[in-house]
Structures are given as C-alpha cells and as structure tokens.
Amino acid sequence: MIGIVGGIASGKSLVAAQFGKLGCAVVDADALAREALDSPPIRQAVVARFGAAILDDAGRIDRRALANIVFADGASLEALNGLVHPYVLKRTEELIARHRQNPAVKAVVLDMPLLIEVGWADRCDRIVFVQCDPARRIKRARRERAMDERDFKNRENFQISLDTKAALADNTIDNNSDFSTLVRQIDLIFSEITKK
C-alpha cells in the first residue's frame, strides 16, 4: 500500500491520480469524508453539534461554513473528527479489501490528508511525500479552494509538521515544476516499487 502525504494544496491528489493511471486503485479520504457528511445519521449528528447555520439552502452541510468553525477551535475539530473519522476509516478498510481482491490492481494508494495522524502510516509499504513551496501551495489553495492565507495557516496548524511528514517518507516528489516533471518522478518511484 502506498500512502501519499504532504502539505495542504501540495498536489497529493494529483500524485495519487497519476498512480491511478499506472494501474493503482486510489482511496480518496476527502471523497469519503464528503460521503460521510451526506450520510443522514452523521449529518444529523454534525448539525446537532454545530447548529443549523452550517446547512446550505438545500439542507446539505456547507463544508466551508463547517471548516470556518472547526479550524478556529481544536475541540470543535476533534468533535467533528470523532463523528466523521469512524465512517471514513471503515469505508477505507472496505475499499482496501475490495481492491486487494482485484488482480488487475497493482497497488492501493491512500490519498488521506491525515494518514499519519490517524496512525495509518505503519500500514503502508511506502510513504510518498509531495513537497511543494508554501507560496505555491497558498496560491493553489486560493485558486482551487477559495481559501485565504489565514484559513490555510489555521488548517495547517492542526496537522503534524511537514518536516515530520518528510522524515517519515520513503520517497519525496518535488511538485514545484511542470506536470511532465511530476509524472517522470512518479513513474520512477512506481517502477522501483513494482520491481520488488
């Protein structure tokens, strides 16, 4: 199993998708978290904890409104994680089991922002750290997630340090250049993994 780690907006999902093109099955924890928030019992529990102000006009959880609350307060983030993480981890287990039954799948890739924090690093055969300069990541977060620098820093403060992530990694991918350079790095790592 290959775990992808890195800072916010470093390009982890892009790297995971590229591994997917090489025959890996990608488990996307962010997609599973969205699925969890759409699940009626979890949605009800989240609304009970954080109030109806986090709902949009359609009655769905507005993830941005929720993020504004939880990333301003550690206890709120912990409460949300307590509601969402069990679902995400259970679904991850189910998907891993399913993908391992498929002989066409060359490896399972975990695109899980809190991979190390939830203790799953030990379950991976390989940890790949996606390195990207802070200025580039902030610019990308602003463009792709409408996140300002304050939001970006607040969220990053709730994750373990990038130095720790880099130190735990078996490989580092530099995502400060163009796409073809990124792809070459991924291809190299994948060929090294599949040789073993």
State which of 104, 123, 143 marks the end of a domain: 104
Tell me, yes or no, whether 115 and 183 share the same domain. Answer: yes
Instruction: Write the CA distances from 99 to 21, 78, 114, 135, integer angstroms.
Output: 15, 30, 21, 36
Q: How far apart are CA 37 and CA 55, in angstroms?
A: 11
CB contact at 8 A, 128 and 1:
no
Query: Tens place of pLDDT for every residue, the chain, 196 residues?
Result: 999 999 999 999 999 999 999 999 999 999 999 999 999 999 999 999 999 999 999 889 998 899 889 988 889 999 999 999 999 999 999 999 999 999 999 999 999 988 998 889 999 999 999 999 999 999 998 888 888 888 888 888 888 899 999 999 999 999 999 999 999 999 999 999 887 6
Split into its structural domains, the chain has a count of 2
pLDDT given at position 1: 94
Segments forming the whole domain that contains residue 17: 1-24+106-196
Tell me, yes or no, whether 111 and 191 share the same domain. Answer: yes
Site of tokens 């607040």: 154
Tell me, yes or no, whether 99 and 110 share the same domain. Answer: no
Tell me, yes or no, whether 160 and 170 share the same domain. Answer: yes
Tell me, yes or no, whether 131 and 93 share the same domain. Answer: no
Q: How far apart are CA 52 and CA 119, in angstroms?
A: 32
State which of 104, 131, 154 marks the end of a domain: 104
pLDDT given at position 196: 60
Tell me, yes or no, whether 80 and 118 share the same domain. Answer: no
Site of tokens 């999902």: 13
Tell me, yes or no, whether 165 and 146 share the same domain. Answer: yes
| CATH code of the domain containing 171 | 3.40.50.300
> 3-state SS of 88-122?
HHHHHHHHHHHHHCCCCCCCEEEECCCCCCCCCHH
Tell me, yes or no, whether 41 and 98 share the same domain. Answer: yes
Nearest-Å Rg of the Cα atoms of the chain is 17
Tell me, yes or no, whether 51 and 146 share the same domain. Answer: no
| Residue 135 host element (H or E) | helix 134-145
Tell me, yes or no, whether 18 and 110 share the same domain. Answer: yes
State which of 61, 81, 104 marks the end of a domain: 104
pLDDT given at position 157: 81
